[in-house]
Amino acid sequence: MKLASIVYGTQETVALVWGDDLVDFGRGLQIYRLTKAGEAGPVPRSIQDLFGQVPGGKEFHRYLADVVSFLDRHNYWVSLKIGGSPRLRPPVARPGQILCLARNYAAHAAETSGAPPTEPIYFAKSPRAVIGQEEPVIYPAGAERIDPEVELAVVIGRRCRKVRREEALEYVAGYTILNDITDRHQQQLDIQAKQPWYRSKSYDTFCPMGPVLVLTDEIPDPQALELTLRVNGEVRQHASTSEMLFPVAQIIEAISQHITLEPGDVIATGTPQGIAPIRPGDVVECDIPGIGKLRNPVVEEKAPATASPSGS
């Protein structure tokens, strides 16, 4: 099952991706609840909102599958493309936290002159940086080197603390794509100064995410996906998630030993080799077949308006 957080007109809701169509899952959920429980409840305005409205834990996927089967049986498929042009928002627009793996592909560790780690290394990225499909990445004025990084992103569906890797994937709602954009020059300066590199990863718009959330029913094995990053159509990164040093289950085990993960939290699982800079005017496309293509143009930061002379 593929879900999208969308906006059409002034409405925000959740859509089910059905072939090439986007159908109204928010209203569908209301009809399901009205029929089953006598109360429609509010329309979920986003996937994050949906997490708070449907049963969590192991019931999550079963419940959503039941809703879809109900809508299918009653032929309740209202296309959101009729009479409007729905716009995709990030699947999770404001995650509680975004944790990112560093050097989780050996060949990328080698190109950044870092040794392959012996345990998962992770850092945080500001949730404020998240943008969605087709939204512009703002290229900071005066920046020396900005790099995109294609990554498989895990979206947590169930509160998790100190889980073993054998059961870790049960806590995953689904997967999406995250472009971990980095001010590489600033990051190197901060590393040399023995400072954290949070800033270089967290500028506004430096976290494109999407285009949709694919639930685990469609991706039973997150280590069998292909990642490609193209800039202006030219392939820069291409690898398989089978090349990760630490697979998704082990990452969740490691993080959850110390940090509780909540529904809607996002884990970016690291980028493969092939990092190279982008420039204003470029178009970046992160592609994982089975999830989709996350596409974002790069635009130059506008210079601040010049202050008018005093006394005028």
- Site residues for Mg ion per CB under 5 A: 149, 180, 271
Residue among 24 and 265 whose Cβ is closer to Mg ion: 265
What backbone phi and psi angles, to 5 degrees, belong to 107?
A: -70, -30
Q: Which is nearer to Mg ion, 171 or 197 (CB)?
A: 197
Smallest separation (angstroms) from Mg ion to the CB of 82 = 39
d(CA 271, CA 238): 10
The answer to whether 168 touches 252, Cβ cutoff 8 Å, is yes
CB 134, min distance to Mg ion, A: 22
Cβ at position 245, least distance to Mg ion in Å:
13
If the CB atoms of residues 29 and 178 are measured against Mg ion, the closer one turns out to be 178
Q: Which is nearer to Mg ion, 228 or 271 (CB)?
A: 271
Task: Work out the burial of residue 75: count CB atoms within 10 Å of its CB; fewer than 13 is exposed, 13-18 middle, 19 or more buried.
Answer: exposed
Q: Which residues lie below 8 Å from residue 221, measured CB to CB, with a gap of 6+?
A: none
Number of Cβ within a 10 Å radius of residue 166:
9
Which pair of tokens denotes residue 93? 């627009």
> In a 3-state reduction of DSSP, which class is residue 27?
helix
Q: Please, what is the minimum distance in Å from the beta carbon of residue 105 to Mg ion?
A: 10
Q: How far is the CB of 261 from Mg ion (least distance, A)?
A: 18
Token code pair at residue 76: 């309740």
List, as one string, the DSSP characters of 104-171. Answer: -BHHHHHHTT-PPPSS-EEEEE-GGGEE-TTPPEEEPTT-S-EE--EEEEEEE-S-BSS--HHHHGGG
Complex with Mg ion: residue 153 or 168, whichever CB lies closer:
153
Least distance to Mg ion, CB of residue 83, Å: 40
Q: How far is the CB of 155 from Mg ion (least distance, A)?
A: 17
| Minimum distance from residue 239 beta carbon to Mg ion (Å) | 13
Alpha-carbon dihedral sign for residues 274, 121, 132, 146: negative
> Counting Cβ atoms within 10 Å, is residue 82 exposed (0-12), middle (13-18) or buried (19+)?
exposed
Of 55 and 196, which has the nearer Cβ to Mg ion?
Answer: 196
Q: Look-up: residue for tokens 């998704």? A: 248
Nearer to Mg ion, 159 or 238 (CB): 238
CA-based nearest residue to 184, from 105, 111, 115: 111
- When the beta carbons of 180 and 183 are compared against Mg ion, the nearer one is 180
